[in-house]
Structure 1
Amino acid sequence: MCTVSVPKICLLILGAVMSEPKTPTPPPAGDTYKGWVFKWTNYIKGYQRRWFVLSNGLLSYYRTQAEMGHTCRGTINLATATITVDDACNFVISNGGAQTYHLKASCEVERQRWITALELAKAKAARMQAESAPGQGGVSQNSEVQSALRTLGSKVEDLSTCNDLISKHGSALQRSLSELDSLRMTGEAGDKIRQVTERATLFRITSNAMINACRDFLALAQAHSKRWQKALQAERDQRVRLEETLEQLAKQHNHLERAFRGAAQANATADNTSAAGPGKGEASDDDDDDNEFFDAMEEAPEFITVPEPLAMNQESPSQELVPLKKRRTCISDKPNYSLNLWSIMKNCIGKELSKIPMPVNFNEPISMLQRLSEDLEYHELLDKASKCQSSLEQMCYVAAFSVSSYSTTVYRTGKPFNPLLGETYELDRRRESGYRSLCEQVSHHPPAAAHHVISNRGWTLRQEITVASKFRGKYLSIMPLGTIHAIFEKGNNHYTWKKVTTTVHNIIVGKLWIDQSGEIDVVNHTTGDHCHLKFAPYSYFSRDVARKVTGVVMDKDGKAHYVLSGTWDEKMEFSRVMQSSRGENGTEGKQKTVYQTLKAREVWRRNPLPEGAETMYYFTDLALTLNEPEEGMAPTDSRRRPDQRLMEDGRWDEANSEKQRLEEKQRSVRREREREAASQRAPHDSYQALWFERCEDQITGEQIHIYKGGYWEAKDCGSWEGCPDIF
């Protein structure tokens, strides 16, 4: 039959399409060219010496040879670049206007060597690009399309086999019918033979139509496959161009900021130029920049304090308690692992931080539950507050406590581990400091942790924190959501407040630094007293002290009683208001309030960091003990996390593997829980926390998790049967 050859042709075409994409062979060692070249940076610094590497059609440069393993300062694809010669030593490489390198060799001979190497590399890159362009998509071809084509080819091969069998049996049937027809049988037998012959002919025509339809289907699939691959490659190229453009815009923004600062600094006073700020450094070119600043307009202070010479009786220092257990004072030094943050974060702009798969290289070896427990670093402020006779003075200590929790973040640029659902952390310091704390991860999406602290010195602290975070390209914003409650037995005073926004700057280039900004309203729901705290964002041009915090404590009628001032990374003071009056108008027409106060009294001061903190993630004395193993811990305690423990021991490669295993285990458990919920027609979010129960807060009306008890009793009995297997 003539249709036998059709599927064979189809198979030949399919074989050509299904064959593995041809991977461009890497150039031999002779095609790689390296050396020092002078690169134009700016009009201030002119040409700067840089290490250039030409390989695989790409020209990359670094500040030094040592940077080749981790930090590439820029790359141009020579396949689409133009190379021009200015003079004996200068030459220019441009890539469509987005990237242009003005380069200068040490001599004319060296310049000619570079030009020759670049032209050869460009020709080879263009040739390889042309070879891989038609429908193949290079080595990054879509594996799903390839798999579909392989399956399609297998099915067409089955059809071809069936076609051969049909042809073979059809030919035999035709011969048999011809032999019967040659007998010239008449009557009913002859009619039957003619019917069978007609049906055989119809069968042959149908078979031919089926094979032709299969051939058309295969051709259509091949055409669509090529279009899909071309569209996919176009999207990839567009993504690369957008990434390059974004990085260039970030650097240009950086240049404009430094130029603006330089112009302002030239006209600033000596006091202004000496103002302290995080990460101040010498101006440099695009690939030298190690510093970045968050600039904000300087705002006029809301009030002015005029201290009187009168002094209040200083409070006698509380007697220090000797710990009953000697706790560790150091951990393993942080390994010197180099990793380019931009290479990971560039694909995550606009995403939630909790949904970004981050290696442990950017973590610190504690979980978010342990980081939350660090709010108790200065628990003695609440101890003092519980002894106050006046609710207004008590408000000063509570406000200072709300500020003190940020002092541990000033150098802590590492990200804590995201807790697994059901993970817990206990901090039992009842015999040493009079309190014990319990945290539990009660939700995974959105991530939420419930925290409950009870002290035998007359206070209770509870909170449920959900961290919302967004990566904005140049900085990372972390917005804690949720309310913190502090309840005192004496007077039954119930305080609430929320946390401010934390911003991590210089994500792309420069040295990471952290700032806190926003406002906190501490409210006493029992008396109506309130304290408004303002965290001023850092400004390079401000003459005021960096990281400044100011606040006023007022009663329910709005009368000011205390003024607070200080910084969130060092200390806070409060002063008793004796008299207040309206002053002159400020810079924006707002009338300032002038408070006449007594001499300021220090209410809180940051504890010094332990010796060698820079090699131990800048942990405080308390933070160094948080991951120390203890007896009787729950199976879900953060100190039992294997990836976190491996990272603390400096075994980061093993920690990364273990982290992936734990995350995949958590995902599989969640899928199983959703399947069970679907079978029972229950909501997907039917997960129930073990030690906390969900209810409505009577003060704020929010849906929160309240500690329902039972944990410490279970610990005393060593009964952990209800704990999930999360590690």
Structure 2
Amino acid sequence: MSEPKTPTPTPAGDTYKGWVFKWTNYIKGYQRRWFVLSNGLLSYYRTQAEMGHTCRGTINLATATITVDDACNFVISNGGAQTYHLKASCEVERQRWITALELAKAKAARMQAESDDSGDDFSPSSPPAAPGQGGGGGGGAAQNSEVQSALRTLGSKVEDLSTCNDLISKHGSALQRSLSELDSLRLTGEAGDKIRQVTERATLFRITSNAMINACRDFLALAQAHSKRWQKALQAERDQRVRLEDTLEQLAKQHNHLERAFRGAAQANASPDSKGAAGPGKGEASDEDDDNEFFDAMEEAPEFITVPADPQFHKSVAVSVCVCVCVCVFQLNEEPLAMNQESPSQELLPLRKRRTRIPDKPNYSLNLWSIMKNCIGKELSKIPMPVNFNEPISMLQRLSEDLEYHELLDKAAKCHSSLEQMCYVAAFSVSSYSTTVHRTGKPFNPLLGETYELDRRRESGYRSLCEQVSHHPPAAAHHAISDRGWTLRQEITVASKFRGKYLSIMPLGTIHAIFEKSNNHYTWKKVTTTVHNIIVGKLWIDQSGEIDVVNHTTGDRCHLKFAPYSYFSRDVARKVTGVVMDKDGKAHYVLSGTWDEKMEFSRVMQSSRGGENGAEGKQKTVYQTLKAREVWRKNPQPDGAESMYFFTSLALTLNESEDGVAPTDSRRRPDQRLMEEGRWDEANAEKQRLEEKQRSARREREREAASQRSASQSDEAVDEDSLTDPYLKTAPHDNYQALWFERCEDRITGEQVHIYKGGYWENKERGSWDGCPDIF
């Protein structure tokens, strides 16, 4: 059975990849190999899965020769040391590879020549400019380097256009000759061969033309991006020049004023006898004022300047004036670190410096099996667990960690295309799992009524609020809103089962992302998290399952698949793949990557059914895509993360003490604070006290609910809601109501959820927390 053709991008990009048959030996003949052409290097692998760890061979095209044997065969040789005898699946595919190789060879040779030229031009006899020379200092050098880098990139794109133009001219001339021969040819047996030749060359010309168009598009996009940056930089330079001119003008006026004052003081000191004759009282007053005379600066001056009038301090006067003017210039040019659009009076307030470390995790030994052996099959939230298995963070704070990569939603809010916006939303849904790869500790179960606020409005434009709205089943409601045009809300109920060797954690609930500008409303659910080697071995975490991100406004959909880890699989570990489709089921983008490292997306140009069947007997779909673009990459871990529970930079700040938060905020939870400080024995005792206090409060609510029910209805009457409400089913005698969220039916999913009703941030501004319960 013939192998399916693997789609490859157009030759205009920097990377070209696909399946090619390579001659191995006389016994095995031609074998199918995966070839990748990138940055002037042609490498091959046995399978695509080997790309991450094993390369079978690489040849540099800068010094290689490319020859064509027949219709499908071609040879690449590098001076006799390396020679690849290759065969494409068809003539058109062979021509595509030849065009891509020629383009890559020309580019590699050009880059090598430029590198040699730059090395020859370097003269060690010319010393580097001294610091401060050259009119720009360090900032000017950085700006000049950035401009030079942009110019080199633009020059490279222009060279690509020139190379594509040469190829178009070459193949266009050959096509013209073939057409001329076809016109002069009689209807003989050669007509069919000539027509086929014309068809092949026309196809090749179309491919090269597409490459030319793509190179032009890249050049235009790059030019537009840098044009905006240069315009902003130019405007900033103009504004700075105007400010400097104004400051220098003020300096000249003050200098003139100071010179006149100094001359007057010098003349007064030069004639002491005449001053003394004026009378002793007047002379004494003059002596008192000699040391410090104050002169008012001009009205436009930034501040007043104190100047000593004694001639021996004349040089220091000039120095102090220059220092004061420099301070004024820096104050005028300095940009505030963060601006609050709604409160301009706070623009100049510095951002709060967040902590970058927490106390190291102490080394406590504990027999896990002695606690877990009787818990197999039980709900984890109902098992009394010591803090030894926890991390010093609550489930509400862990839920707020979903905003670690909020910039993906910021970019999505700016997208004009709903399909491209879907790529950013899908990448955001994957990014929330990157923080779990080493986080084997269990977060604290929140107390009923516990809240957590994450106010990053000045730094990142968003603020978030979580509240534990139910205890059985444990449910947390989360609401985040950003000044950059998006809202995120979710209500998550965590179901977990301990199976002996592993622990399964199933988050239940729907996540909603709403964008104001486009009015697009997205929903998705979380996948299952599995913690392996609970009893024996090193703990490790895996994510598995499928996610459907749905745009309820346009009908677009993205299907993401988290591949479970398998020892026998050749795929990359923690792999995630996805396809973005419109409401008609047509694929537009393909996503690929891993949930612990990065995600990329590629635009689909063409799709076709492959010849191989999948694991479930379904026919695979093969997508021909453009070059992949990186949409998300994991932030590096802070130094010493392994001794700080593998917290990210954001997680290290979540439990940092802050003034003005609600009394129910997780930062005020005593057992969690004690554990963070390394006092685990005290934390365990405090945890038991809080749990018992929570049980007492629950029993009190049940008694109040029972008395109200007996007063309003007879024992035989049954409330219709109690038969359909899952919360009332699990806790029929509990009349608890959340403080900041209200329960209603979601109009999109039809689920009973808790939605933020407002009031929290207003109460925080007033400092009024009268309605908050005493839970700690």
TM-score (normalizing by structure 1): 0.56
- Given the alignment, which residue of 614, 624, 640 partners 1:612? 640
1:563 CA displacement: 0.1
Does the CA-based 8 Å contact 2:49-2:570 persist in structure 1? no
1:443 CA displacement: 0.2
SS in 2 for 1:492: coil
1:312 CA displacement: 33
* Matches of 1:590 and 1:494, distance apart in 2: 32
Give RMSD over aligned pairs: 35.7
Instruction: Show the counterpart of 1:7.
Output: none
Relative to structure 1, is the Cα distance of residues 153 and 566 closer, same or farther in structure 2, using a 3 angstrom cutoff? closer
1:610 CA displacement: 0.3
* Matches of 2:548 and 2:526, distance apart in 1: 9
1:398-457 CA-partner distances (Å, limit 9, x unpaired): 000000000000000000000000000000000100000000000001000000000000
Relative to structure 1, is the Cα distance of residues 596 and 84 closer, same or farther in structure 2, using a 3 angstrom cutoff? closer
1:585 CA displacement: 2.6
1:659 CA displacement: 0.2
Does the CA-based 8 Å contact 2:12-2:212 persist in structure 1? no
1:538 CA displacement: 0.3
Relative to structure 1, is the Cα distance of residues 56 and 243 closer, same or farther in structure 2, using a 3 angstrom cutoff? farther
1:187 CA displacement: 161
SS in 1 for 2:51: helix
Instruction: Show the counterpart of 1:123.
Output: 106
1:87-143 CA-partner distances (Å, limit 9, x unpaired): 999999999999999999999999999999999999999999999999999999999
- Given the alignment, which residue of 218, 222, 225 partners 2:224? 222
1:445-471 CA-partner distances (Å, limit 9, x unpaired): 100000000000000000000000010
Does the CA-based 8 Å contact 2:542-2:564 persist in structure 1? yes
Relative to structure 1, is the Cα distance of residues 592 and 619 closer, same or farther in structure 2, using a 3 angstrom cutoff? same
SS in 1 for 2:602: strand
Relative to structure 1, is the Cα distance of residues 263 and 211 closer, same or farther in structure 2, using a 3 angstrom cutoff? same
Instruction: Show the counterpart of 1:254.
Output: 256
Deviates more, 1:253-262 or 1:605-614: 253-262
Does the CA-based 8 Å contact 1:142-1:229 persist in structure 2? no
* Matches of 1:45 and 1:433, distance apart in 2: 60
Does the CA-based 8 Å contact 2:451-2:467 persist in structure 1? yes
Deviates more, 1:179-188 or 1:274-283: 179-188
For this pair of structures, how many residues does the alignment match?
708
Does the CA-based 8 Å contact 1:80-1:95 persist in structure 2? yes
Does the CA-based 8 Å contact 2:7-2:622 persist in structure 1? no
Does the CA-based 8 Å contact 2:698-2:734 persist in structure 1? no
Relative to structure 1, is the Cα distance of residues 63 and 607 closer, same or farther in structure 2, using a 3 angstrom cutoff? closer
Does the CA-based 8 Å contact 1:573-1:602 persist in structure 2? yes
Does the CA-based 8 Å contact 1:304-1:594 persist in structure 2? no
1:704 CA displacement: 0.2
Does the CA-based 8 Å contact 1:312-1:599 persist in structure 2? no
* Matches of 1:175 and 1:311, distance apart in 2: 65
Instruction: Show the counterpart of 1:635.
Output: 663
1:329-377 CA-partner distances (Å, limit 9, x unpaired): 0000000001121111111111111000000000000000000000000
1:57 CA displacement: 74
Deviates more, 1:236-245 or 1:600-609: 236-245
SS in 2 for 1:266: helix
Does the CA-based 8 Å contact 2:551-2:557 persist in structure 1? yes
* Matches of 1:711 and 1:361, distance apart in 2: 33
* Matches of 2:109 and 2:631, distance apart in 1: 69
1:702 CA displacement: 0.2
Relative to structure 1, is the Cα distance of residues 120 and 514 closer, same or farther in structure 2, using a 3 angstrom cutoff? same
1:685 CA displacement: 2.9
Does the CA-based 8 Å contact 1:292-1:506 persist in structure 2? no
Does the CA-based 8 Å contact 1:636-1:726 persist in structure 2? yes
* Matches of 1:690 and 1:630, distance apart in 2: 21
Determine if the alignment matches structure 1 residue 703 to structure 2 residue 752: yes
Relative to structure 1, is the Cα distance of residues 439 and 245 closer, same or farther in structure 2, using a 3 angstrom cutoff? farther
SS in 2 for 1:552: strand
Relative to structure 1, is the Cα distance of residues 453 and 591 closer, same or farther in structure 2, using a 3 angstrom cutoff? same
SS in 1 for 2:764: helix
* Matches of 2:73 and 2:657, distance apart in 1: 63
1:324 CA displacement: 1.2
1:678 CA displacement: 1.0
* Matches of 1:319 and 1:434, distance apart in 2: 14
Does the CA-based 8 Å contact 1:566-1:572 persist in structure 2? yes
1:679 CA displacement: 1.3
Relative to structure 1, is the Cα distance of residues 280 and 110 closer, same or farther in structure 2, using a 3 angstrom cutoff? farther
Does the CA-based 8 Å contact 2:10-2:210 persist in structure 1? no
Does the CA-based 8 Å contact 2:182-2:191 persist in structure 1? no
Deviates more, 1:457-466 or 1:206-215: 206-215
1:46-81 CA-partner distances (Å, limit 9, x unpaired): 999999999999999999999999999999999999
- Given the alignment, which residue of 593, 602, 605 partners 2:630? 602
1:508 CA displacement: 1.3
Relative to structure 1, is the Cα distance of residues 694 and 35 closer, same or farther in structure 2, using a 3 angstrom cutoff? closer
Unmatched tracts of structure 2, length 5 or more:
115-128, 134-138, 308-334, 710-730
Deviates more, 1:624-633 or 1:139-148: 139-148
Deviates more, 1:34-43 or 1:247-256: 247-256
Does the CA-based 8 Å contact 2:161-2:215 persist in structure 1? no
1:589 CA displacement: 2.9
1:290-314 CA-partner distances (Å, limit 9, x unpaired): 99999999999999999x9999999
1:637 CA displacement: 0.1
Relative to structure 1, is the Cα distance of residues 317 and 349 closer, same or farther in structure 2, using a 3 angstrom cutoff? farther
Does the CA-based 8 Å contact 2:107-2:160 persist in structure 1? no
Does the CA-based 8 Å contact 2:361-2:678 persist in structure 1? yes
Relative to structure 1, is the Cα distance of residues 262 and 609 closer, same or farther in structure 2, using a 3 angstrom cutoff? farther
1:574 CA displacement: 0.2
- Given the alignment, which residue of 174, 178, 192 partners 2:180? 178
Relative to structure 1, is the Cα distance of residues 573 and 239 closer, same or farther in structure 2, using a 3 angstrom cutoff? closer
1:588-643 CA-partner distances (Å, limit 9, x unpaired): 43211010000000000000100000000000000000000111010000000000
Does the CA-based 8 Å contact 1:448-1:466 persist in structure 2? yes
SS in 1 for 2:373: helix
Relative to structure 1, is the Cα distance of residues 515 and 46 closer, same or farther in structure 2, using a 3 angstrom cutoff? farther
Relative to structure 1, is the Cα distance of residues 471 and 260 closer, same or farther in structure 2, using a 3 angstrom cutoff? farther
Does the CA-based 8 Å contact 1:303-1:592 persist in structure 2? no
Does the CA-based 8 Å contact 1:293-1:505 persist in structure 2? no
Does the CA-based 8 Å contact 1:70-1:340 persist in structure 2? no
Determine if the alignment matches structure 1 residue 519 to structure 2 residue 519: no
1:474 CA displacement: 0.9
SS in 2 for 1:460: strand
* Matches of 2:205 and 2:113, distance apart in 1: 48
1:586 CA displacement: 3.4
Map 1:27-38 → 2, pairs under 5 A: none
Deviates more, 1:464-473 or 1:260-269: 260-269
Map 1:295-310 → 2, pairs under 5 A: none
Instruction: Show the counterpart of 2:155.
Output: 153
* Matches of 1:110 and 1:263, distance apart in 2: 92
Does the CA-based 8 Å contact 1:22-1:139 persist in structure 2? no
Deviates more, 1:66-75 or 1:99-108: 99-108
1:269-310 CA-partner distances (Å, limit 9, x unpaired): 9999999999999999x999999999999999999999x999
1:584 CA displacement: 3.1
Does the CA-based 8 Å contact 2:514-2:520 persist in structure 1? yes
Relative to structure 1, is the Cα distance of residues 199 and 244 closer, same or farther in structure 2, using a 3 angstrom cutoff? same
Which is bigger in relative contact order (C-alpha 8 A, separation at least 6)?
Answer: 1
* Matches of 1:482 and 1:453, distance apart in 2: 16
1:171 CA displacement: 142
* Matches of 1:375 and 1:204, distance apart in 2: 46
- Given the alignment, which residue of 9, 25, 30 partners 1:42? 25
Deviates more, 1:250-259 or 1:497-506: 250-259
* Matches of 1:556 and 1:265, distance apart in 2: 90
Relative to structure 1, is the Cα distance of residues 575 and 185 closer, same or farther in structure 2, using a 3 angstrom cutoff? closer
Relative to structure 1, is the Cα distance of residues 199 and 239 closer, same or farther in structure 2, using a 3 angstrom cutoff? same
Does the CA-based 8 Å contact 1:33-1:55 persist in structure 2? yes
Relative to structure 1, is the Cα distance of residues 360 and 188 closer, same or farther in structure 2, using a 3 angstrom cutoff? same
Relative to structure 1, is the Cα distance of residues 702 and 258 closer, same or farther in structure 2, using a 3 angstrom cutoff? farther
Relative to structure 1, is the Cα distance of residues 188 and 435 closer, same or farther in structure 2, using a 3 angstrom cutoff? closer
* Matches of 1:580 and 1:196, distance apart in 2: 26
Does the CA-based 8 Å contact 1:483-1:496 persist in structure 2? yes
* Matches of 1:673 and 1:161, distance apart in 2: 79
